[in-house]
C-alpha cells in the first residue's frame, strides 16, 4: 500500500482493499464479451432452504467467512455456474488471482474449484440502509466488482444438499496522511457484506442465521444494518425466517480502530514520527529498584517495557523530563514542535496494565519553567493495546486528553533551541496490586510540513 510523502500541503488518502466480500449465488453469462460479464441467474429450479453465515474478525484488518447453505433440488440434477463477486480497491484489481486462492467451495462434501473471470460491474444495495453511514461515499453503495470466482456446480437431486463457501477478506478503510499533522488520521474499519447474492436461488429462504464475531474489536463495533441485530459486546447475531435475501441491505459494521492505531503509532511505529531523527534522552524524578523499569524504556518503541517510578507513595508528583538534541541533518522543510504522545501505564499485558498505576492528570511544561504548564486529564483506555494520548500544541488535536481549568497557559510552550519538556504526573489511577505508577512511551511530536 502506498503511503504519503511528507511534503507541504500534501494530502494522500490510503484506501484499504476488501477481498472476496459477499455471499455467492447462481450466475449466468450476459454475453460473449471480452470481460466475460455476468448477471444474476434466477431461473434455476433450486431453492435455498437455509443459510448459516459466520464471519469472524481475525485481526485489526482481516476477517474470515464460512457460509453453510442447504439447497433443495426436487428434480433431476442441475448444472449451474456459482459466482462469488471479487472486489479490490488497490492495484486496480491486479490481485484477484491471489484473492480467489483463499476461496473454498464444496458441494455435498466435495471440493469444487473456481476460476477468476475479470469483469467490470457494479452491485447496488437493494435497499437503503436503516440509517445513513457517516463515512466516505467511496466505501458505501454501490461497490464496484472487479471480477468473479466462478465454480461450475452439478447440483444433485435432494431436499438437503449442502453447499459451503469459505474465504478470508480484508476490512475496508480510508486513512489520511498529511504533511500538516504529525500523526496520520486513522479511520474506522468497515465490514461491508452483501447478503443478497444468495437470494438469487429460487424462492424464499426458510431460515437464515448470521453471526459476526468482533474479535479484537469486542466492545468497539457499531452496527448499521440490516435491522434486527442482537448485539453483544463480542458479537452480533441476526435471525431471519421466510426471507428474500435479495431484498436485504448490506451487512454493515464499523469497527473503531482509532485507539488501537494511536497505540501502535506511539509504540512500535514511533520511529516514523521523528522526521528530524533527533537524539532523545530522558531523566526521571525516581525509578523503581530492580533494573527493569529504567526511564529509557519510554523511548524504546516497545509496548512491553515501561518506566515505573520509585517513590514511597502512589507516584503523584513524580515526573519525566525528555530532551531532544539538534538534528544531525538540517530538515528540508521548516519543522516545529507539535505536541507530546503518551502511553500511560505498563501495557505489556492486561495483567500488568491493571496491576500497576497509571497517570491520570499530567502537567506539561519546559524543564526551565515547570511552573508554567498546560494541565490535562487523560481518558485512560480499558485495555492496554488501546492506551494512547496526544497532547497537542494548540489543544485542538488532543486525543484522549482534556485541558483542565488548572492550566497556567493555553498552548504548549514552543522551545527556544533544543527541546526539554517536563511531564509531571499530578494524579494517578492506582493499580490493583502494586503502588507504582508506570509509563510505557513518551513521544515528542514534530511537524515538518
* pLDDT recorded at residue 69: 95
For the cut 80, the answer to whether the pLDDT of residue 383 exceeds it is: yes
For the cut 60, the answer to whether the pLDDT of residue 397 exceeds it is: yes
Mean pLDDT of all residues in 89-113:
74
What is d(CA 84, CA 285) in angstroms, rounded to the nearest whole number? 61
The residue among 239 and 101 whose pLDDT is bigger is 239
For the cut 60, the answer to whether the pLDDT of residue 4 exceeds it is: no
- Find all residues with CB under 8 Å of 107, minimum gap 6, and list them: 153, 154, 155, 161, 162, 163
CATH number of 11-256: 2.60.40.3680
- Which range of 130-134, 316-320, 414-418 scores highest in mean pLDDT? It is 316-320
What is d(CA 306, CA 346) in angstroms, rounded to the nearest whole number? 6
Per-chain mean pLDDT for the chain:
82
For the cut 70, the answer to whether the pLDDT of residue 50 exceeds it is: yes
What is d(CA 345, CA 445) in angstroms, rounded to the nearest whole number? 20
Assign 429 to helix, strand or coil. strand
CA–chain centroid gap for 417, Å, is 38
Under the banding of pLDDT at 50, 70 and 90, the label for residue 70 is very high
The residue among 392 and 52 whose pLDDT is bigger is 52
Mean pLDDT of all residues in 9-37:
46
Domain locations in the chain? 11-256, 262-447
* pLDDT recorded at residue 403: 94
* pLDDT recorded at residue 266: 93
The residue among 183 and 170 whose pLDDT is bigger is 170
* pLDDT recorded at residue 362: 97
Condensed to tens digits (0 to 9), the pLDDT of residues 246-286 reads: 788 889 999 988 888 899 999 998 877 776 678 899 999 99
Under the banding of pLDDT at 50, 70 and 90, the label for residue 128 is very low
Mean pLDDT of all residues in 152-167:
94
CATH number of 262-447: 2.60.120.260
For the cut 80, the answer to whether the pLDDT of residue 23 exceeds it is: no
Mean pLDDT of all residues in 386-406:
90
337 neighbors 415 (Cβ within 8 angstroms): yes
For the cut 50, the answer to whether the pLDDT of residue 3 exceeds it is: no
* pLDDT recorded at residue 38: 59
Amino acid at each position: 500500500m502506498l503511503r504519503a510523502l511528507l511534503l507541504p500541503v500534501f494530502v494522500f488518502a490510503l484506501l484499504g482493499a476488501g477481498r472476496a466480500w459477499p455471499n455467492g449465488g447462481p450466475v449466468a453469462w450476459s454475453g460473449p464479451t471480452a470481460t466475460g460479464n455476468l448477471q444474476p441467474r434466477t431461473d434455476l429450479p433450486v431453492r435455498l432452504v437455509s443459510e448459516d453465515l459466520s464471519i469472524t474478525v481475525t485481526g485489526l484488518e482481516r476477517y474470515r467467512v464460512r457460509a453453510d447453505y442447504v439447497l433443495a433440488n426436487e428434480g433431476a440434477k442441475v448444472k449451474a455456474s456459482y459466482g462469488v463477486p471479487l472486489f479490490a480497491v488497490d492495484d486496480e484489481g491486479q490481485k484477484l488471482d491471489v484473492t480467489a486462492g483463499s476461496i473454498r467451495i464444496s458441494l455435498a462434501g466435495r471440493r469444487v474449484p473456481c476460476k477468476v473471470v475479470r469483469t467490470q460491474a457494479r452491485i447496488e444495495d437493494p435497499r437503503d440502509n436503516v440509517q445513513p453511514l457517516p463515512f466516505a461515499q467511496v466505501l458505501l453503495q454501490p461497490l464496484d466488482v472487479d471480477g468473479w470466482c466462478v465454480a461450475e456446480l452439478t447440483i444433485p437431486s435432494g431436499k438437503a444438499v449442502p453447499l459451503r463457501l469459505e474465504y478470508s477478506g480484508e476490512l475496508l478503510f480510508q486513512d489520511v496522511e498529511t504533511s500538516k499533522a504529525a500523526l496520520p488520521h486513522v479511520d474506522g474499519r468497515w465490514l461491508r457484506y452483501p447478503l443478497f447474492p444468495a437470494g438469487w436461488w429460487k424462492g424464499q429462504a426458510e431460515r437464515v442465521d448470521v453471526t459476526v464475531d468482533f474479535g479484537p474489536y469486542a466492545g468497539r463495533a457499531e452496527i448499521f444494518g440490516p435491522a434486527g441485530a442482537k448485539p453483544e459486546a463480542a458479537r452480533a447475531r441476526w435471525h431471519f425466517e421466510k426471507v428474500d435475501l435479495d431484498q436485504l441491505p448490506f451487512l454493515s459494521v464499523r469497527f473503531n480502530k482509532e485507539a488501537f492505531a494511536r497505540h501502535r503509532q506511539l509504540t512500535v511505529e514511533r520511529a516514523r514520527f521523528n522526521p528530524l531523527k533527533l537524539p532523545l534522552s530522558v531523566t526521571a524524578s525516581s525509578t523503581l529498584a530492580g533494573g527493569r523499569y529504567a526511564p529509557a524504556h519510554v523511548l524504546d518503541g516497545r509496548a512491553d517495557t515501561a518506566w515505573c517510578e520509585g517513590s514511597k507513595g502512589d507516584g503523584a508528583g513524580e515526573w519525566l523530563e525528555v530532551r531532544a538534541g539538534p538534528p544531525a541533518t538540517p530538515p528540508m522543510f521548516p519543522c516545529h514542535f507539535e505536541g507530546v504522545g503518551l502511553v500511560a501505564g505498563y501495557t505489556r499485558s492486561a495483567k500488568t496494565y491493571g496491576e500497576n498505576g497509571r497517570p491520570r492528570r499530567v502537567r506539561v511544561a519546559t524543564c526551565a519553567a515547570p511552573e508554567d504548564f498546560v494541565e490535562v486529564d487523560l481518558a485512560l483506555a480499558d485495555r492496554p493495546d488501546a492506551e494512547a494520548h496526544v497532547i497537542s500544541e494548540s489543544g485542538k488535536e488532543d486525543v484522549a486528553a482534556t485541558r483542565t481549568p488548572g492550566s497556567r497557559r493555553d498552548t504548549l510552550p514552543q522551545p527556544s533551541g533544543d527541546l526539554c519538556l517536563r511531564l509531571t504526573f499530578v494524579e494517578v489511577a492506582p493499580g490493583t496490586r502494586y503502588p507504582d505508577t508506570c509509563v510505557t512511551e513518551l513521544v515528542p511530536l514534530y511537524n515538518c510540513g
